[in-house]
Amino acid sequence: MSAQPSEDHSSKDPSERSLFLFPKWANRLPFFFISGSVLFLLFIIFLFWYVFSPKNLDVGYAPKQPIPFSHQLHAGELGIDCRYCHNTIERAGHAAIPNTETCMNCHKIIKADSPHIIKLRDSYTNNKPIEWIQVHRLPDYVYFDHSAHLQAGVSCVSCHGRIDQMQVVHQVQPLSMSWCLECHRAPEKFLRPKEFITKLDWKAEDQLKMGLYLKDAHHIRPREDCNTCHR
Ligand code: HEC
Ligand code: HEC
Ligand code: HEC
Ligand code: HEC
Ligand code: HEC
């Protein structure tokens, strides 16, 4: 009995079949057409959102600096520690950009006749600071503090990427609220022993295990309430 219907189908008389002007699959065409246009529309909306939403405008921001200073050369190849130049970073909220004097410790002698270094020396002798263009910038209503993060064992690389491989500094993280909170909720994914915070290529054998250990041992509890970052 149950096998009957399929036999029925094959034995239909031909005149009844010719009622279908188009093959059966053609009935689905409008469906494909409509869902296709909806997807296309969504794609266009996504594209606009992605390209023009402010947080994504900032990622990759790499302004041309007055002197082509290379982190790849100084921090990477020469291996100068970040804190030699950004020397207030562990004490103050803001990371000082080094003054010309710091550069002249070396460049009084090194490459002294290069046009870039001559510009540097002019700044030094005329006491006119180089006007470096700021790359990272949070809105004024956000409170941020480097030292609290470094003290807890968050490395520069978690927020700035591989600066030691950049010829020109660019922003790699969105610095958005959701980005901050992602780590505040699960800092164990990033915590490392403090002596490695400026070793950007350092990796733990088992990040989660070590992170959870450090979080516990140092009672690290990043806060999520609004007035932590908006005060
Ligand atoms: C020899 C000095 C020197 C060393 C070493 C150095 N920096 Fe810098 N850094 C600078 C100068 C000068 C600037 C400003 C020009 C520029 O943006 O390239 C700067 C800019 C930056 C900026 C962008 C600041 C902004 O405007 O938002 C970041 C982030 C940064 N450095 C991180 C690091 C990290 C991480 C290290 C260690 C891996 C490091 N720096 C090592 C001199 C140095
Ligand atoms: C610890 C020593 C040291 C410090 C501090 C230092 N530099 Fe250098 N810098 C070097 C060395 C070494 C070179 C490579 C010289 C070479 O190519 O022979 C170099 C190369 C450069 C060059 C490329 C020069 C050229 O024309 O080839 C620039 C530009 C430069 N440094 C700028 C800076 C600035 C700006 C600072 C301060 C923020 C700074 N340096 C701090 C050691 C230093
Ligand atoms: C938890 C994330 C985080 C870590 C870790 C971090 N930074 Fe930053 N950094 C930021 C943010 C966010 C800004 C923008 C601050 C602002 O606009 O007030 C910034 C700005 C800077 C600046 C520009 C000057 C300033 O203070 O605005 C420098 C230079 C810098 N960072 C260097 C470093 C170095 C070097 C390290 C490691 C020793 C480091 N940062 C670690 C998030 C971080
Ligand atoms: C990669 C991890 C990470 C990211 C990203 C991060 N934080 Fe934190 N933050 C921490 C940790 C860890 C602490 C220290 C908590 C503790 O010591 O208990 C902290 C502490 C703080 C504090 C408290 C400082 C104080 O004085 O007590 C503030 C404010 C803060 N973060 C703001 C921010 C803001 C704003 C951003 C985004 C721009 C941000 N953080 C991104 C991990 C992070
Ligand atoms: C860990 C730090 C942090 C905490 C905690 C935090 N914020 Fe924010 N908030 C930020 C940052 C960073 C921005 C800037 C975002 C940007 O520029 O894209 C921001 C932006 C905002 C804005 C501006 C609108 C926007 O989305 O750009 C509002 C409103 C805001 N926060 C409300 C809150 C409220 C309400 C809370 C508590 C539930 C809170 N924030 C907790 C870091 C934080």
- The rounded Å distance from CA 207 to ligand 4 centre is 19
Better pLDDT: 192 or 61? 192
Instruction: Tell me if 141 CB under 6 Å of ligand 5.
Output: no
Contacts of 204 (CB under 8 A, 6+ apart): 192, 210, 211
Mean residue pLDDT across the chain: 87
pLDDT of residue 53: 52
Q: Are 119 and 179 in contact (CB under 8 A)?
A: no
The maximal CA–CA distance of the chain, rounded, in angstroms, is 103
Instruction: Tell me if 86 CB under 6 Å of ligand 3.
Output: yes
Q: What is the pLDDT of residues 26-73, one digit of tens each?
A: 777 777 778 888 888 888 877 766 555 544 447 888 888 999 999 999
- The rounded Å distance from CA 200 to ligand 5 centre is 28
Better pLDDT: 135 or 22? 135
The rounded distance, in Å, linking the Cα atoms of 159 and 173 is 6
User: What is the number of the ligand closest to the CA of 182?
Assistant: 4
- The rounded Å distance from CA 189 to ligand 5 centre is 22
Instruction: Tell me if 159 CB under 6 Å of ligand 4.
Output: yes
Residues with CB under 6 A from ligand 1: 65, 69, 71, 74-75, 80, 82, 84-86, 97-98, 132, 134-136, 156, 160, 163-164, 169, 198, 200
Least confident of 49-58, 61-70, 172-181, 192-201: 49-58
Q: Are 146 and 92 in contact (CB under 8 A)?
A: yes
Angle (nearest 5°) at CA 149 between 220 and 85: 150
pLDDT of residue 10: 45
Per the listing, tokens 């239909």 go with 12
Q: What is the pLDDT of residues 120-155, one digit of tens each?
A: 999 999 999 999 999 999 999 999 999 999 999 999
